[in-house]
Structure 1
Amino acid sequence: MGNSADEVSKLHFFLFPFMAHGHMIPTLDMAKVFATKGAKSTILTTPLNSILLEKPIKSFNHENPQLENITIKILNFPCAELGLPQGCENTDFIFSSHELSTGDLSQKFFLALTYFKEQLEHLIETMKPDCLVANMFVPWATKVAEKFNVPRLVFHGTGYFSLCASHCMRLHKPYKQVASSSEPFVITGLPGDVVITDEQVIEKDEESVMGKFMKSVRESERDSFGVLVNSFYELEPAYSDFFKSFVAKRAWSIGPLSLTNRRFEEKAERGKKASIDEHECLKWLDSKTCDSVIYLSFGTMTSFNNEQLIEIAAGLEMSGHDFVWVVNKTASQEDKEEWLPEGFEERTKGKGLIIRGWAPQVLILDHQATGGFLTHCGWNSLLEGVASGLPMVTWPVGAEQFYNEKLVTQVLKTGVSVGVKKMMRVVGDFISRDKVERVVREVMVGEEMRKRAKELAEMAKVAVKEGGSSDLELDRLMDELKLVRLQREEENKS
C-alpha cells in the first residue's frame, strides 16, 4: 500500500446521501471515483439502505484490492419515534405507501433528517474525515462540518442547466409577466433563450414549508466549501460557466458518474435487485438488430394510472418498433389486463419486453440494439442516456425534470418532447396513443439527433478518462482538499 508518507496523503471522504435510490446510486459511484484517486470513502446510511449498497461495495473492494476500501457506517433512524411508519427509511417507501398522503409523508421525512445531526457530529469528531460530501437535502450539514473545521461539499444529484434555470427563476421571476399559466416565456438571464411555461416551474411557492426548506438548502450551499456536480463540461459548457460565475462560489464537474461502472456485474448491480434476469434480458436484446429497440422507463417514483398505461401500450404497438418497457406496477397476473389493452402481450410477443419493477437500466441502454430512450428526465437517467449515445423522448413529471427536458430538446437537440404541459401532482397530463406513436417513430428515425447523441457519448467517455475534463476537475478537488488539510494541521501546531 505504499509508505507512511503515502498514508498521510490519503484523503478520507464522508459521503452522506439522501435516502432515495436516485441519490444513493451516484453516491456509491462517487465513492468508487474517489477510490481510483487513492482516497478512502465512508458512506453514512441507515440499516435498510445499507442493504442496497453492501453487495456492490463488497464486489468493488474485492475486484480492486490495490485501492482503498469503501466502507459503510450505519446511522440509527427510529421511524416510529420520528412519527414515520415503520420501515420508512427511503423515499421508495413513501411513494408506495398508502398510510398518509404522499405530500404529508415526504414533508415529514425531509424534516426528520435532522435526527442524524448528533450522530454525524460524533462520527466526524471520532473519525476525523478530510471532507464531508452531504446531499443538498441535509442543509444543517454545513454547520456541523464547520464546527469541526471540515470542508462540506454539496451534492445535488442534478446538472448545471437546471441549477442555473432555477436560480434565474428565483432572481427574475419571469413567470409573473405572463397572462396565463400555459403561456410560454423565455427564462430571463439564462443563456440560450430557453422557453418554458408557468405550469412547469417549481420555484414559485417560496412561503410553503418546502419553499422555506429549499431556502435553507441554498443558504447552506452558499456557506459550504463548494458543489459537486454529476456532469461533464462538454455537455453544458455555458451553464457550467454561468453556475461558477453567478450561483456557487466553487463547483467541480465529476461526471458522468455512471461511467465508473465498466464491468457487467457493476452495471447489473446498480440499485435494487433487477426484476428480470440480466442474462435473459440481454439475450432478448441480442436477438434484435442495431438501434431497433426503444427503452421506456419513468424512474422509481412515477406511477401512472391504468388509463395512461393503456395509451402508452397502444402507442408502442402502433409505432411498430420493438420495445423494452419498465412499469412500476407489481401487478399480479389477475389484474394485469386492467392496464394493458386486451391481448396486448400476445400480439407483441417477441416484439416487446415488459419489466415489472426494477430494471438493469445501464446494461439495457448500453446494448447496441437499444436505439432510443423514453425517459421522465430524472438527471441520473438522462445522463445515463447521454453516456449511451441515445436520442430521447422526454416525458417529465415533476421536480426539475422540465428543466432537464428543455436541455435535451432546446439546447442539445438530441430529443423530442411527448408534449407534457404541466407537473404531475397526482395525475399528470393525459398523453394519447397517437402522440406516443408519433414521438417514438420520430426519435427512432431521427438521424441528426442520433448523430449528435453519439458525439455527446464520445465526449462523456473522454471526460472521465485520464486527462479528460472531469478527471482533471477531480484532481483539482483532491489537491484543494489536501491543501486545506495541510493548513488545518499548521493551525493546530501553532
Structure 2
Amino acid sequence: MSKPDSSKLHIAMFPWVAYGHFIPFLHLSNKLVQKGHKISFLLPKGVQPKLENMNQYPNLIQFFPLVLPHVDGLPPGAETTSVVLGSQTKYLAFAVDQTRDQVDSIFKVLKPDVVVYDFWFWIPDLARQLGITPICYVVISSMTMGLNTKIVTKETTVEEVMELPPGYPSSAVRLKDEEAAIMLFKAMDFGSGLSFQQRLRTTLIESDAIVFRTCREIEGPFLDYVAKGFGKSVLLTGPCLPETKTEQLDEKWVSWLSQFESNSVVFCSFGSEGMMQKDEFQEMVLGFESCGLPFLVALKPPQGCSTVEEALPEGFEERVKGRGLVYGGWVPQELLLHHPNIGCFVNHCGYGTMWEFLLADCQIVLIPRIGDQILNTRLMVNELKIGVEVERGKNRRVSKESVSEAIKFVMDKDNETANVLRANRAKLKQALSNRDLQEEYINSFIQALQDLVKK
C-alpha cells in the first residue's frame, strides 16, 4: 500500500454556513495541508476575515468567497446562522443553493480531485459532471446521524420519534417526549422545496463516502450502524483538533483566574449561537451565584438586550463582586479550558465544544438546547459516563436550583460518583491525547480518499 502522501490531492471544502461547521472543516484542512495536499475553501464572502487567523497555512489553503444573493425573509447581508433566527435558517440554505453557478465556475477553473461538503444536496450531481469525487463530511455525532435512518414526515408523531430505529446500538440515548417533539423539526421546510431531513439524507445518500470527525474509541457501534443504514463507506478523521497552540491566554484572563485556587473556577459558555430569553438568562446566572464557587460565565446578551450587564438581576454584580464575572463578548474557550484553575465547564454539548472538553481536565455539566446537543449529551452522560446533565422542569425550563445542584455535585471532591466521572474522563483524555492515534486516523483517511479518486 502506498504511503498516504505519495499522491497529492487537490481538495475543495464547502461547509454549511455555521461557525460550528467552518471551524472543523478548517481544522481538517490544516491537517491535510500538513500532509502535502492542496485546499480550496469555499465560504461566504464576509466570513473569510473571521477565519483567516485559524488558517495555519495561508499559502496552501486558499479561500474562495461566494456572494450570497438576497432572499426574502433574511436580514440584509446575512451569511451565517449566527445572525439569523432558527426560523430564518431555511432562507439562508436557499440563498446558498442559489450560488450553484458560482460554485460550478470555481470548480471548472480549479479542477479539484475531491469536494468535501455537508448539507449541499446538489453538490454530488455537480461534482460528478466535472469528474470530482463528492465526499460528505459530518461534523455531528454518528449517534445522531444514525437516527436519520428513520424517516420523519409531517405526519410523524412524537411517540414515533421516541422509538429508536431497528437495530440501533443503544437504548441509553432514548429521548424524552419533549425532546422528541424538538426532533419533529426534521420534517419542516428547509429551502429549495426540501425538508431538513430530505436535504440531509440526500446529501448522505448521494455522496461517495461519509466522513465523521470522530474515532472508533468514542462512537464505534454507531459508526457501524450508519454504514449499514446508508449503505456507504464510513471514513474517520479522528478528533482533528489543532495542535497545542503557542498563543497564550490573554493577560486579563490570566490575571482574573489567578485570584482563585486550582480547579476551583466554574466556566460556562454556550457557543456562538445560543441566545436566551432574558428570564432564562437571569435564572442561569443566579444558579452560578448560588453554587458558592468562583465563576466565569460567557454568554451572549439575551434577546431584547444589547449588553449582558443590562440583563443581570438587580444587585447581582455587587453580590458576586470579586467572585463571579459575566462576560458578553467572545472568549478563547479552548485556552480557558486548559487553565489549571478552571475546575468545571458548563456548556451546551455542541459537537465542536464536546471535543474541546474531552481533551481538558475539568468536570463537565451539560445543558443541551437543540437536537444534536441533546444526543451528544446522552453519549457523554449515559454511554461514556463522564459528566452530568442539568435537570429541566416544566416546559424544559432550567432553574437556578438545578444549575447550582449539578455544579456542586460534580465539584464535591468527597462525592464517589463525581470521582468516577472524573476518572472516566481522565482515562478517555489519555487515549484521545495520543498523538499517534490522530496521526493514524488522518493517514488512513487520506489513503481512503486517494483510493476513491483512483476508482
TM-score, normalisation: structure 1: 0.81
Deviations 1:364-418 (A, max 9, x none): 1122222221111211112211121443212111131111111111111111111
Please list, as runs of the form range in 1=range in 2, the aligned pairs for 1:423-438 lying within 5 A after superposition.
429-438=396-405
Q: State the 1:52 CA deviation.
A: 1.0
Q: CA deviation at 1:454?
A: 1.4
Which of 426, 450, 455 is residue 482 of structure 1 equivalent to?
450
Partner of 1:93: 83
Helix, strand or coil at the partner of 1:314: helix
Alpha-carbon distance between aligned partners in 2 of 1:31 and 1:335, rounded to the nearest angstrom: 35
Offset of residue 15 of structure 1: 0.5
- CA gap of 1:153–1:389, structure 2 versus 1, over 3 A, is farther
Deviations 1:130-163 (A, max 9, x none): 110112x211111111111211111222111211
2:219 corresponds to 1:236: yes
What secondary structure does 1:235 align onto? helix
Distance in 2 (alpha carbons) for counterparts of 1:434 and 1:320: 12
**Aligned with 1:189: secondary structure?**
coil
2:84 is paired with a residue whose SS is helix
- Tell me: CA distance 1:69–1:287, structure 2 relative to 1, closer, same or farther (3 Å): farther
Alpha carbons of 1:400 and 1:335: their partners in 2 closer, same or farther (altered >3 Å)?
A: closer
Gaps of 5+ in 1: 1-5, 63-67, 96-101, 269-276, 423-427, 488-494
Q: Determine whether 1:190 maps to 2:168.
A: yes
The reply to whether residue 125 of structure 1 matches residue 108 of structure 2 is: yes
The correspondence of residues 9-408 of structure 1 with structure 2, limited to 5 A, is 9-57=7-55, 60-61=56-57, 69-79=60-70, 84-95=74-85, 102-103=86-87, 105-135=88-118, 137-167=119-149, 177=159, 189-194=167-172, 195-201=174-180, 202-204=182-184, 207-210=187-190, 212-258=195-241, 260-265=242-247, 278-329=250-301, 338-408=310-380
- Separation in 2 of the partners of 1:252 and 1:287? 46
Alpha-carbon spacing, 1:79–1:332, altered in 2? closer, same or farther (3 Å): closer
The answer on whether the counterparts of 2:18 and 2:80 sit within 8 Å (CA) in structure 1 is yes
Whole-Å separation in 2 of the counterparts to 1:333 and 1:249: 47
Give the TM-score normalised by structure 2: 0.88
| Distance in structure 2 (CA, Å) of the matches to 1:395 and 1:121 | 41
Gapped regions of structure 2 (runs ≥ 5) = 413-417
What SS is found at the alignment partner of 1:482?
A: helix
Quote the Cα distance in structure 2 between the aligned partners of 1:185 and 1:390: 34
Q: 1:319 to 1:242 in 2, by over 3 A?
A: same
Query: Equivalent residue of 2:217, what SS?
Result: coil
**CA drift at 1:363:** 0.5
Cα distance in 2 for residues equivalent to 1:254 and 1:33: 9
CA 1:347–1:84: 2 relative to 1, 3 Å:
closer
* CA distance 1:334–1:452, shift in 2 (3 Å): closer
Aligned equivalents of 2:36 and 2:42: distance in 1?
20
CA contact (8 A) 2:275 2:302 kept: no
Residue deviations 1:213-265, cap 9 Å, x none? 4213212311211122121221222222322333351122213223x241143
Name the aligned partner's letter for residue 147 of structure 1: Q
Amino acid at match of 1:230: R
- Aligned-pair identity (%): 24
| CA distance 1:138–1:301, change in 2 (3 Å) | same
- How much has 1:328 moved relative to structure 2? 0.4
How many residues align? The count is 441
C-alpha distance after superposition, 1:28-61 (max 9, x if no partner) = 111111112211111111220111122332xx23
Q: Which position in structure 1 is the counterpart of 2:415?
A: none
Q: Is the 8 A contact 1:365 1:385 kept in 2?
A: yes
How far, CA to CA, are the matches of 1:453 and 1:228 in structure 2? Answer: 25
Residues 335/407 of structure 1: CA separation in 2 closer, same or farther (3 Å cut): closer
